[in-house]
Amino acid sequence: MPIGVNLLPWRARQARRRRWRLALIGLGGGLAGLMTLAIIATRVDQQNAADRAHQAELEAQLAELAPAIEAQGRLERTRERLDARHAVTETLGEQRRRAPDALTQTLAARPPTIALTRLRIHAEERVIEGHTRQPDALPRLIDALRAAPAFAGFHLQRLTHLAAEGGERRGFRLTLTRPSTPTVDDDR
């Protein structure tokens, strides 16, 4: 018969030691985690404090620059208004130059047998009214107007015969328009 050895107390001590080691490891790991968390939190708080100080400094600079920014905005709006006014002035000046040019070129293109009674000049339309004693003078006027720079881009929209003003005179109205899209003038 074998000699029996009671190992139960020894096993119980070993189990208690293992539990104690595990508790110490868990407690040490928890403490290490807490310390790491405290270190990281301290650094984050320091960085947040530095960021808040920098933000406060930037806000103070912005407050100092606010009048200058507002003045620059007012200057930009004034410049935009002046640019718009200048564009309108340029457009009006161009229109004022076009009217005398068109009148001068119409008179220069006019055959001597044609008398002009009315000239209306708009950006997209020119209307010429007059009378003549010679019917063949009207095609010469139309050809001369086509060659005039003030009438470049315009084509004959309508030729209307007006009531005779007496005797042998024949009244006419030429309506010349600028097409919205470029077209070939086949009226020749």
Q: Give the percent of the chain with pLDDT over 90.
A: 40
Nearest to 127, CA basis, from 75, 90, 174 = 174
> Is 188 a residue whose pLDDT tops 50?
no
CA distances to 99, 109, 156 from 129, in Å: 16, 14, 13
Q: 67 pLDDT band (50/70/90 cuts)?
A: very high
pTM value > 0.95 = no
What are 141's strand-pairing partners?
none
Task: Count other Cβ atoms within 10 Å, centred on residue 62.
Answer: 10
> Is 145 a residue whose pLDDT tops 60?
yes
Q: Which two three-digit tokens encode residue 141?
A: 């006027």
Give the start-end residues of each E strand in the chain: 114-121, 125-132, 155-162, 170-177
With tokens 């004693």, the residue in question is 133
Averaged confidence pLDDT in the chain: 84
With tokens 């968390």, the residue in question is 37
Nearest to 154, CA basis, from 163, 162, 164, 144 = 144
Map residue 160 onto helix, strand or coil.
strand
Nearest to 165, CA basis, from 113, 109, 115 = 115
Query: Distance (Å, rounded) from C-alpha 129 to C-alpha 153?
Result: 20
Map residue 130 onto helix, strand or coil.
strand
> Is 182 a residue whose pLDDT tops 70?
no
